Amino acid sequence: MLEYFELNAAGKPAALMIWLHGLGADGYDLEPAAQMLGAGNVRHVFPHAPARPVTLNGGMAMRAWYDIAAADLRWREDREGILASARQVRELAGALRGESALPLVLAGFSQGAVVSLAAAAQGVPGLIGVAAMSGYVPRFLLPVPADMRSVRVLMAHGEQDEVVPFALGKAGRDALAESGVAVDWRAYAMPHTICQQELRDVSGWLSGLLEQA
């Protein structure tokens, strides 16, 4: 099972939120983002992706949820790698929810956003929402299974993103909406990063989810 660390809720948790980091980072990278949400009633969990060679980076091994062949992210998509990581996330979620049966939210940045969406498409028990930040939807996920239509998705993206093009993120939003998924879309004047306004929007979206859970 994936290695992880966590931030416990203040008191009895109302939900479990699993955060998936981007390429070359680790779970600690998203800890400040989780803290800035101000969601004290949520148990936050931060898994670390395993180290693997990444073709785009000359085969150098680094923490990565899947391989990337080229700057064109949809060229030679690593379907097996994405699905394998999605299964690991599902396994972790199942083990954590086995302790509490809490409503589950996935949040991911860049590669982590892609794997969050892939896990949702595979089906994760108790999943109520996915916050996909600066990510995209791989071609092989479309059309998404009908079961995913019960999951609320927030997609957020920087208009000056130099890593995952804004148009690619927006195309993923459109494709999910066409598949019948309820998608909230947010755009920001920023590059490939996370901004404070984005976290405020994620916080508001999360509060709305938990009110309905």
Positions marked active-site? 110, 161, 192
Instruction: Say how many residues make up the chain.
Output: 213
Angstrom distance (rounded) from CA 156 to CA 23? 18
Token duo for residue 86: 């999605």
Find residue 158's DSSP bridge partners: 188
8 A C-beta contact, residue 106 and residue 126:
no
8 A C-beta contact, residue 94 and residue 71:
no
8 A C-beta contact, residue 56 and residue 163:
no
User: Is residue 204 helix, strand or coil?
Assistant: helix
Angstrom distance (rounded) from CA 177 to CA 148? 11
